[in-house]
Amino acid sequence: MKRYCFFCLTFLSLTPVSLPAIAQYPGQSTDKMSVALKVPVSAFSFNLQDVRITKGPFRENMEREGQWLLSLPVDRLMHSFKVNAGMNTPKPGSPTKMPEPLGGWEGLDMELRGHSIGHLLSGLALQYASTGNDAFKRKGDSLVNGLAEVQQTLNQDGYLSAYPQQYIDRNIAATSVWAPWYTMHKLFAGLTDQYTYADNRKALDIVTKMAAWAYKKLSPLTDEQLQKMLRNEFGGMNDAFFNLYAITGNPDHLKLARLFYHKAALEPLEAGIDNLNKAHANTFIPKLVGEARDYELTGNEKARKAATFFWHTVVNHHTYAHGGNSDKEHFFEPDKISEHLTGNTGETCNTYNMLKLTRHLFTWTPEERYAGYYEQALYNHILGQQDPASGMVCYFTPMKPGAYRLYSTPDQSFWCCVGSGFESHSKFGEAIYYHDHKGIFVNLFIPSEVNWREKGVKLVQETRFPEEATTRLSVLTDKPVAMPLYLRYPSWATAGVTLTVNGKPVKVSQQPGSYIVLERTWKPGDQLELTCPMTLRRVPANDNPDVAAIAYGPVLLAGKAGTANMQGTAPFHDPADPYQYYGYDYTIPAGIPQVLPAQNTLEQIKPVAGKPLTFETTPADSQIRIELEPYYKVHRQRYIMYWTLK
């Protein structure tokens, strides 16, 4: 395995936001857009600034992530950039003290150095949009000012990075280098996010100059040279340039986006061919996010086909019960989940990017299956990435029964999944609600508020979901408003749902996996309650019904298996290097049960009184009982996700 294969990509999910249909990001006002969408869109994202998460585990994760973002010193984050520009070299005998370099993937000897500052710029902008806290804007402004100074000092046609241009030249020449365009993408994304969410005009100026450098660098290349360059991981560079084009309308930015069209990866998908076996998963996923953006901005039908086919292929044939995918960062043969229950499964960046692609598809066709997958992956994989005790995050989510998660460090890791985590846990408000021309979609049951300014309506959601099955919605408006509410009827709610408006029952004729449409004139203070009873269910591996996970409603349950013989120092591991996962000793101690009865499996799992979302196995032939809790809660210990049914 070569080093350059071990990582992933992150960029912000880009979907239409509000009417009129010129948009780029969820959470962005349309006055920053200059390119209209070329395709019809059925659902629009709300501006992220208009959604507030009020309490609950998502709010808690977001607050921990925000504290981490604010704790990282600007001088340490800027250090490698200034070294590259010759700005951090004190004269001999100078009393100036150099900042302590960051470690892990941000070390000065790492070819990916600089990627984290792009993620951090995005995370700060998202936190500012999500909370309105000026501390996030001030820190983002400081980083942008520092990057502008570095760009000016480098004086290389707009080039900006923590490494020299020779890395890009090596990539163009198809010689060995980790993934410089991947790292460059993070800067493009982060700076664009600073403009989009924090209204930082200097960030747009910097990224526009970077694009001018890229155009000058790449436009003379032949198609053969470009395709060789694109064999190396480049993150979402196509996506980044489509997004910049949406803002600027500059045709050079559209041309740049199309220079990152990777034929070998995308042409088979356009033809409906699953070419994912053995492919590095998170090299692929961002390319399809870019394809989705291409379709929206240009009407490219091939791009739509590729993005849609890819999503369905991954979700239906390559996805574990928690919504993640990949083993040792790679896809494998379709429908072989039970053969890949290892300690190196479920790279978190993959899921982050799958959620971005999911948002695109939902806006084109607002179907419950897209919202359902989003819920599955958000509650089980993304929410569970962060250790509540420390705020640190994991790279992989092991599916091997009896394995356990390893976590990052505050300033000595900076893996790709640390960077995408800066964003994941800062933008939980992006997919709770959508709207069409008439009404609001309620997709997720998260305590929150959404303000639809154009309609003069605020919707307040109160719930303890998933610890309770009921969510309460209050309509706040100054005057009666005629509009529909589209309430998601989850596919897992097979026991039926109940609905009341102002205390009066409403007949529900829809079926699980659809939307309940409430068309009425809403008056100030109207309230509704939707109850979706949750039941235990088996989630079998897609190739073996005798290997299955257990879920309660949408929540995947993990069997708690203790801390015996756990290596590494919880909550961190040392050295803080994800490569340690490959070959890490996941030897499972003797005595950890991994088997449940095949007959009447669910009847032998009982709720624990007084402990919400907690269950216990009750085997008839053994004294060994295993407690099960939501996977997102089970940290710093071994666990069982998939059971053998005998």
Q: Are residues 216 and 299 in the same domain?
A: yes
In a domain, 99, yes or no: no
The DSSP secondary structure of 391-444, one letter per residue, reads --BBS----STT----B--SSS---HHHHHHHHHTT-GGGGSEEE-SS-EEE--
Mean pLDDT of 226-235: 98
Range of the domain at 566: 536-645
Total tally of structural domains belonging to the chain: 3
Mean pLDDT of 338-362: 96
pLDDT tens-digit readout, 267-312:
999 999 999 999 999 999 999 999 999 999 999 999 999 999 999 9
In a domain, 635, yes or no: yes
Mean pLDDT of 529-553: 98
pLDDT band at 587 (very low <50, low <70, confident <90, very high): confident
Where is pLDDT greater, at 36 or 540? 540
Q: Are residues 342 and 449 in the same domain?
A: no
pLDDT band at 593 (very low <50, low <70, confident <90, very high): confident
Model pTM score: 0.94
Q: Are residues 383 and 292 in the same domain?
A: yes
Statement: residue 207 has pLDDT above 90: yes
Report the CATH number that the domain containing residue 35 is assigned in CATH: 1.50.10.20
pLDDT tens-digit readout, 417-476:
999 999 999 999 999 999 999 999 999 999 999 999 999 999 999 999 999 999 999 999
In a domain, 399, yes or no: yes
Q: Are residues 300 and 401 in the same domain?
A: yes
In a domain, 97, yes or no: no
Based on C-alpha coordinates, what's the Rg of the chain? 24
Stretch (H or E) spanning 537:
strand 536-541
State the number of CA atoms in the 13 A half-sphere of 132 facing the CB: 6
Q: Are residues 7 and 84 in the same domain?
A: yes
Q: Of 3-17, 133-147, 157-171, which range is least confident?
A: 3-17
Q: Are residues 515 and 577 in the same domain?
A: no
Q: Are residues 442 and 418 in the same domain?
A: no
Q: Are residues 193 and 297 in the same domain?
A: yes
pLDDT tens-digit readout, 375-413:
999 999 999 999 999 999 999 999 999 999 989 989 989
Whether the CB-CB separation of 620 and 629 falls below 8 Å is answered with no
pLDDT number for residue 28: 43
Whether the CB-CB separation of 550 and 628 falls below 8 Å is answered with yes
In a domain, 353, yes or no: yes
pLDDT tens-digit readout, 107-162:
999 999 999 999 999 999 999 999 999 999 999 999 999 999 999 999 999 999 99
In a domain, 105, yes or no: no
- Scanning 199-300, the segments in alpha helix (DSSP H) are 201-218, 223-229, 237-248, 251-259, 263-270, 281-298
